[in-house]
Amino acid sequence: MPAIEGVIISGGPFLRIKLISGKILTIARVKKLAFGDKVWICFNYTNMSVRDILTDYEYHELDKDEEVELGPEFDPETGIVEGIALNGSVFLSD
């Protein structure tokens, strides 16, 4: 489920967050957030509760590309595929 965008409209021990749909949530303060901060609400629809509140920075950090480990490499000079050793056996890719 994608996170729901909102803005902090009131602080204190409880935060009031206005969602882009116009609904207003009141939840206990979990982070140092101030009036006007953009937040992203991760909502648990099964339990009908707020699972997490992400700041705008935290939410966009999740969107960044993660480095993916590539499989075995092919050496064009020798025509050999790099093998992977697992428990004394070598597995070659096609």
Q: How many residues does the chain have?
A: 94
pLDDT tens column, 5-45: 999 998 888 889 999 999 998 988 888 888 999 998 888 88
Which is nearest to 24 in space by CA: 40, 37, 7, 12? 7
Spell 32-46 as b/e; 16+ CB within 10 A means b: ebeeebebbbebeee
Per-residue pLDDT at 77 exceeds 80: no
Residue 84 vs residue 10, higher pLDDT: 10
| Mean pLDDT of all residues belonging to the chain | 76
**Structural domain total, the chain:** 1
pTM of the model: 0.59
Distance CA 34, CA 19 (A): 15
CATH number, residue 4: 2.40.50
Return left, alpha or beta for 7; rule: phi > 0 is left, psi -120 to 50 is alpha, else beta.
beta
What is the DSSP code string of 6-47? EEEEE-SSEEEEEETTS-EEEEE--S---TT-EEEEEEETTT
Range of the domain at 33: 1-94
Per-residue pLDDT at 94 exceeds 50: no
Calculate mean pLDDT across residues 50-69.
72
